[in-house]
Structure 1
Amino acid sequence: MANNAPLKIALGASALALTASPAAATEDDLNVWAGQFVVADVDEDGDWFVRGEAQERFTNDADRLGQLLLRMLVGYRLNKDVSIGGGYAYILTDPVGPVKLNEHRYYQELNVRLFDRDGITLDSRTRLEQRTFEEGESTSWRFRNFVQLRVPVSENNKLVAYTEPFIELNETDFQRGGLSVWRNFAGVSIPIAERIEVVPGYLNQTVFREGENRMDHVANVNLFMSF
């Protein structure tokens, strides 16, 4: 019974995160998000690696491309369970009404495998971001902590669940400080070739705002490739 304690704790935390909802009134929106992620080793020992990704987010009842994200990272594996890295992202945000935003984001991250047994994994990604915008001069600092659980549900498939809060560390023209976004996801991994998988699922995103919050109900499909 004691050997199952980490799994029970992880499953309980994931269930709580996925069922939690903010107490304040919310404005709902239907989204469709697609993502493509590639990780490639760049040396023979596999210590250094690069990661690239693109994400397309269709918002306003999935009627238009509301956000495009392009991101890259150079990382180093300290050991089999821990890696560090830093990178850059360009984000074009095109909301209905307000002006378009062109964001240039620099970030550093720490990745840690917290648990790994019997095909069950629990991973943490801690990320610090410095967000700059062409439409302004200030730098917005933001902290994110992503925790993901994977549990086998068949010979080839795994349940995938994660939670990720976003905390703004200062006040600028582009952020007001404090908890700004919370994402929770549940889906399933589907391998389609060696080291290639697709993960479809449901993502719930709450955007905390002055007054009425916004809740995005997202049909999310991500493609992961590693080499």
Structure 2
Amino acid sequence: MKKITLLIFAFISLNTFSQKNPENSLGVWYMYGGSFQLSENWKLKSLAHFRMFDLTNDLQQYLYRVGANYKINKTLSVTGGYAYLNTDATFDVDGGNADEHRLYEDFNIKHKVSKLGFDHRFRLEHRFFEHDTQHWIRYQLGLSYPLTKTVSAFAFDEVFFNFQGETYAQNWIGGGVTYKASNSIKLKLGYMNISDKNISLDRIQLGIIFNTKLNK
């Protein structure tokens, strides 16, 4: 845990000396994730992000997401749900839209090779703006590996495709560590790069993850 704290202070120091232009500064995503077991096969998923141009102000985007997950077996599951986003229209890698509503469907595959965990997520997104509707497909490959009983390393890469206009849209790549604070709470510290054909953004990820049963 001390190492994670030191890394956070290191990121803060880097951001202090970064360029003042928010497009070039080291930003941060403050993240909440919740998974609530309703029954043997059903989970309620929730998520909230506050995505900043820097560490303390200049909010780029906030996002709220809720969904229902159904476990088909130990390897396969599906999720469907709704998300709401609000983006600073002065700078948005998705095209400068402010309010956005989304419907999404996920197909998830999880498996392990020895201790290395693999997580494949295929997502269809239906994005509704004030004057536009778009349909995207996303694929994410996630990797996880336990370092100790409480600390795990993770890495991911996610590519975005847009059915309207140019097919390739974005790529997100990153990694970091999670710390198991209790049986139901994990803390997350990571770094990611967001890129498309026009821009590249560097972002810290600071998150808390809840995983609990509601059917005790």
TM-score range, shorter chain: 0.7 to 0.9
**Matching residue within 90, 93, 99 for 1:96:** 90
Matched, 1:193 2:148: no
Counterpart for residue 179 of structure 1: 168
Matched, 1:110 2:95: no
Task: Give the share of equivalent positions with the same residue, in percent.
Answer: 26
Q: 1:128 to 1:100 in 2, by over 3 A?
A: closer
Instruction: Give CA-to-partner distance per residue, 1:48-107, whole Å, 9 cap, x none.
Output: 111001000001686411100000111110001110121100000014368651000001
- Would you say the 8 A contact 2:28–2:54 is kept in 1? no
Q: 1:130 to 1:119 in 2, by over 3 A?
A: same
RMSD of Structure 2 on Structure 1 (CA): 1.9
Counterpart for residue 158 of structure 2: 164
**Matching residue within 196, 205, 209 for 1:220:** 205
* TM-score, L = length of structure 2: 0.80
In the alignment of these two chains, the number of paired residues is: 187
Counterpart for residue 50 of structure 1: 44
**Matching residue within 133, 136, 140 for 1:139:** 133
Counterpart for residue 126 of structure 2: 130
- Which residue type is aligned with residue 167 of structure 2? G
Q: 1:161 to 1:92 in 2, by over 3 A?
A: same
Q: 1:61 to 1:226 in 2, by over 3 A?
A: closer
Q: 1:60 to 1:151 in 2, by over 3 A?
A: closer
Q: 1:50 to 1:62 in 2, by over 3 A?
A: same
Structure 1 distance, partners of 2:54, 2:28, is: 10
- Which residue type is aligned with residue 162 of structure 2? E
- Which residue type is aligned with residue 120 of structure 2? S
**Matching residue within 146, 150, 162 for 1:152:** 146
Q: 1:181 to 1:225 in 2, by over 3 A?
A: same
Q: 1:100 to 1:141 in 2, by over 3 A?
A: closer
Gaps of 5+ in 2: 1-22
Instruction: Give CA-to-partner distance per residue, 1:138-182, whole Å, 9 cap, x none.
Output: 3201010111100122232111000001111113xxxxx321111
Q: 1:74 to 1:50 in 2, by over 3 A?
A: same
Gaps of 5+ in 1: 1-26, 172-176
- Would you say the 8 A contact 1:58–1:64 is kept in 2? yes
Counterpart for residue 203 of structure 1: 192
**Matching residue within 33, 37, 43 for 1:37:** 33
